[in-house]
């Protein structure tokens, strides 16, 4: 029985109450709970029970009970987040609430270009449902086979189509949310225009489960993509990459949907560690971009637009070489290289990660200055600055150099992080562009946010969650809430 193996100081009556609220089989403990207690990057390992409600009503009743008994609740989607936001603390008193059983697509409305999905719906399933209705849901991440819509909303996820379609926040029409006290806020509207007072729903987006638990969302759809052109191009440096992006946007009638920067080292690591990944070009180059044009018009001449623009760039010195995907297989191979960079880094050894953003035009200078500082101060690390350059978002990661001492390398993570984030501040940038705060970056938020901003965040938290039961210690420090 669950009670016998309960891990923490929750009273037996409380546990019995929880099981009564949820019904049999919906509370996991011991080995069954284990997979839910460690975050994706294995930075945190917590303790606690796991609840798996099947409906929004069940979840709301659970929250009312937890609020009454002051039980900390940690919402969990696909558990692919990078900041430890979905992992309980080590006390054993918190309850993980897995959304996995709330996974239905409730409605697809092609004429309204909208879809209603429950929070536990896997992102790839939502994309598929849109596709079956001849529509397109644009959020696209390397983790889309396991991350969930609720997690995407709560982290305000980005991914590879932000340039054209915006972040998750921009794709939302309405939400259904279970509040801390058990009330259900039902605002699953599919309206494009609604200026009726404060936009309450927007507060839950990017809130990482600290203000409410999202149970469903009404999302925007777009015309189905029927034509695409994809190139992997070598560029002399990031400056050329940014200029190429500006030209390509103009030349294609703004049909650029992805524009990703890839450094040479990323090619070396992916081809070494990931089976099936090959260098798309014959000779090595220092920098590359993976760019894609897409259109809903099957007959759009995207291949010739891309070829022409790259040809001109080649003549003008902005591009050194390029390969165009001649088939869906080649396109998938280019994307596999890009999407497996994090995995290749992990397989290569320790790495220090920074998910930063600066204005797009400032990317080249930022890379130059960060690179110079790191060469001087962290010679046992190798810089891999890659990612969504079209959005000004870089994953500025440092990988342990071959033969470097792992412990010594990792021991310097704090001063390195401080230097990188200080530089980001000098560029009016963000120290967390798309991965959120979670538990990992609480100190960074305190350090870099304006005091007035932090005070407002704490005041909002008190209004939505006066007893502090929702994801305690995430985003805001617990004693400061
Ligand atoms: C290979 C890989 C590639 C990735 N690429 C990208 C990328 O390109 N762009 C990007 O932005 N991220 C990326 N990520 C990070 C991650 O996938 C995203 O942050 C994703 O949105 C998290 O969704 P999830 O369902 O896994 O959420 P989880 O990790 O389960 O949770 C994330 C946060 O949201 C909260 N939460 C979850 N569900 C709910 C809910 N229903 N209501 C309220 N709060 C909730 C949790 O408490 C936690 O604080 C990547 C991750 C991996 C592993």
Helix 56-68 to helix 12-22 angle (10° resolution) is 160
Q: Whose alpha carbon is nearest atom 44 of ligand 1?
A: 209
The per-residue pLDDT for 414 is: 94
Residue 66 lies in a domain: no
* Residue 313 DSSP one-character state: H
Distance CA 453, CA 430 (A): 14
The rounded distance, in Å, linking the Cα atoms of 190 and 178 is 19
| 261 inside domain | yes
Say whether both 217 and 234 belong to one domain: no
Are residues 256 and 317 located together in one domain of the fold? yes
Q: Where are the alpha helices (DSSP H) in 327-412?
A: 328-339, 341-348, 363-377, 406-411
Nearest CA to ligand 1 atom 23: 151
CATH of the domain at 313: 3.30.70.2190
Question: Can you state the angle between helices 363-377 and 238-251, rounded to 10 degrees?
Answer: 160
HEC sequence for 150-176: HHHHHHCCCECCHHHHCCHHHHEEEEE
Question: Quick one: which of 40, 55, 65, 173 has its CA closest to 115?
Answer: 173
CA–centroid distance, residue 315 to ligand 1 (Å): 42
Q: How far apart are CA 432 and CA 444, in angstroms?
A: 9
359, two tokens? 């204005």
Per-residue pLDDT of the chain (481 residues; tens, 9 = 90+): 333 334 456 777 888 899 899 988 889 999 999 999 999 989 999 999 999 999 999 999 999 999 999 999 999 999 999 999 999 999 999 999 999 999 999 999 999 999 999 999 999 999 999 999 999 999 999 899 999 999 999 999 999 999 999 999 999 999 999 999 999 999 999 999 999 999 999 999 999 999 999 999 999 999 999 999 999 999 999 999 999 999 999 999 999 999 999 999 999 999 999 999 999 999 999 999 999 999 999 999 999 999 999 999 999 999 999 999 999 999 999 999 999 999 999 999 999 999 999 999 999 999 999 999 999 999 999 999 999 999 999 999 999 999 889 999 999 999 999 999 999 999 999 999 999 999 999 999 999 999 999 999 999 999 999 999 999 999 999 875 5
Same domain, 259 and 368: no
Q: What phi and psi values does residue 376 have, to the nearest 5 degrees? A: -75, -40
Residues 113 and 180 both lie in one domain: yes
158 with 257, same domain: the answer is no
Atom of ligand 1 nearest to the CA of 204: 43
240 and 268 belong to one structural domain = yes
What spacing in Å lies between the alpha carbon of 74 and ligand 1's midpoint? 13
Domain for residue 271, yes or no?
A: yes
Same-domain pairing of 113 and 219: yes
Are 412 and 398 within one domain? yes
Buried b / exposed e along 299-308 (16+ C-beta atoms within 10 A): ebebbebbee
For residue 59, how many other CB atoms are within 10 A of its CB? Answer: 27
Q: At what angle do helices 302-315 and 238-251 cross, to 10 degrees?
A: 140
Classify strands 287-295 and 256-263 as parallel, antiparallel or unpaired: antiparallel
The runs of H, that is alpha helices, within 182-340 are 238-251, 264-273, 302-315, 328-339
Residues composing the chain: 481
Is 274 inside a domain boundary? yes
**Domain count along the chain:** 3
Q: Give the span between the Cα atoms of 157 and 162, in whole angstroms.
A: 9
Positive/negative CA dihedral, 175, 178, 179, 184: positive
Which atom of ligand 1 has the smallest separation from the CA of 77? 30
pLDDT the model gives residue 480: 59
CB count, 10 Å around CB of 15? 18
Model-level pTM?
Answer: 0.94
The minimum-distance atom of ligand 1 relative to the CA of 99 is 41
Tell me what pLDDT residue 311 has.
97
- Does residue 91 come out as left (phi exceeding 0), alpha (psi in the -120 to 50 range) or beta? alpha
| Ligand 1 center from residue 359 Cα (angstroms) | 24
Residues 297 and 336 in one domain: yes
* Residue 169 covered by a domain: yes
Beta strands 393-400; 381-386: pairing state: antiparallel
Bridge partners (DSSP) listed for residue 293:
229, 256
Q: Specify the CATH number for the domain of residue 145.
A: 3.30.465.10
Reduced to 3 states, what is the DSSP secondary structure of residue 242? helix
- Give the tens place of pLDDT for each residue, 9-32: 677 788 889 989 998 888 999 999
Round to the nearest angstrom and report the end-to-end CA distance of the chain: 36
Q: Domain containing 389 — which CATH number?
A: 3.30.70.2740
Per the DSSP assignment, residues forming a β-bridge with 233 are: 289, 322
Of 205, 223, 241, the residue at which a domain comes to its end is: 223
Report the atom number in ligand 1 closest to the C-alpha of 149: 25
What is the distance in A from the centroid of ligand 1 to the CA of 151?
Answer: 5
Q: Residue holding tokens 């921009």?
A: 170
Residue nearest to atom 52 of ligand 1 (CA): 143
Same domain, residue pair 219 and 232: no
Phi and psi, residue 117, nearest 5°: -125, 145
Q: Closest ligand 1 atom to the C-alpha of 39?
A: 29
CA of 301 to the centre of ligand 1 (A): 36
**How far away, in angstroms, is 442 Cα from ligand 1 center?**
17
Q: Domain containing 316: what range?
A: 227-340
Residue 180 domain flag = yes
Q: Which atom of ligand 1 is nearest to the CA of 177?
A: 42
Judged by DSSP in three states, 382 sits in strand
What is the Å distance from ligand 1's center to 29 Cα? 23
Please give all residues whose beta carbon lies within 6 A of any atom in ligand 1, as ranges.
40, 74-82, 85-86, 99, 119, 141-143, 147-148, 150-152, 154-155, 157-159, 208-209, 213-214, 342, 434-435, 438, 471, 474
Atom 16 of ligand 1: nearest residue by CA position: 81
- In angstroms, rounded to a whole number, what is the distance separating the alpha carbons of residues 252 and 254? 5
Residue whose tokens read 């004429």: 111
């Amino acid at each position: 029985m669950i009670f016998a193996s309960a891990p923490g100081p929750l009273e037996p009556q409380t546990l019995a109450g929880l099981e009564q609220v949820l019904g049999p089989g919906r509370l996991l403990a011991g080995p069954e709970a284990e997979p839910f207690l460690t975050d994706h990057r294995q930075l945190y390992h917590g303790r606690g029970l796991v609840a798996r409600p099947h409906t929004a009503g069940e979840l709301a009743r659970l929250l009312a009970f937890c609020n009454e008994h002051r039980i900390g609740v940690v919402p969990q989607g696909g558990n692919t987040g990078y900041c430890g936001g979905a992992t309980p603390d080590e006390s054993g008193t918190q309850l993980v609430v897995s959304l996995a059983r709330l996974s239905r697509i409730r409605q697809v409305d092609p004429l309204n270009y909208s879809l209603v999905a429950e929070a536990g719906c896997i992102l790839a399933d939502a994309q598929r449902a849109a596709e079956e209705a001849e529509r397109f849901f644009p959020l696209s991440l390397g983790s889309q086979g396991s991350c969930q819509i609720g997690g995407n909303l709560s982290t305000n996820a980005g991914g590879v189509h932000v340039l054209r379609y915006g972040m998750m926040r921009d794709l939302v029409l309405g939400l259904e949310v279970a509040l801390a006290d058990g009330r259900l806020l039902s605002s699953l509207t599919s309206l494009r225009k609604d200026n009726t007072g404060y936009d309450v729903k927007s507060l839950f987006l990017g809130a990482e489960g600290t203000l409410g638990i999202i149970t469903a969302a009404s999302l925007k759809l777009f015309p189905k993509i029927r034509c695409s052109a994809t190139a992997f191009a070598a560029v002399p440096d990031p400056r050329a990459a940014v200029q190429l992006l500006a030209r390509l946007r103009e030349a294609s009638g703004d049909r650029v949907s992805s524009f990703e920067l890839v450094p040479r080292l990323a090619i070396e690591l992916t081809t070494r560690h990931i089976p099936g990944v090959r260098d798309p070009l014959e000779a090595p180059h220092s920098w590359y971009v993976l760019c894609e044009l897409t259109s809903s018009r099957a007959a759009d001449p995207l291949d010739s637009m891309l070829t022409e623009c790259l040809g001109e760039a080649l003549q003008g010195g902005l591009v050194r070489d390029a390969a165009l995907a001649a088939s869906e297989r080649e396109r998938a191979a280019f994307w596999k290289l890009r999407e497996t960079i994090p995995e290749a880094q992990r397989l290569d050894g320790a790495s220090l990660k920074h998910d930063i953003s600066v204005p797009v035009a400032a990317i080249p200078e930022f890379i130059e200055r960060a690179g110079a500082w790191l060469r001087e101060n962290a010679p046992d690390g190798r810089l891999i600055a890659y990612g969504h350059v079209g959005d000004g978002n870089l994953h500025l990661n440092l990988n342990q150099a071959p033969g470097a001492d792992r412990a010594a390398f990792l021991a310097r993570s704090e001063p390195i992080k401080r230097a990188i984030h200080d530089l980001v501040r000098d560029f009016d940038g963000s120290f967390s562009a798309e991965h959120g705060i979670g538990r990992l970056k609480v100190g960074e938020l305190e350090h870099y946010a304006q005091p007035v901003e932090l005070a407002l965040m704490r005041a909002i938290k008190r209004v939505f969650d006066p007893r502090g039961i929702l994801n305690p210690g995430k985003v805001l420090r617990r004693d400061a809430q």
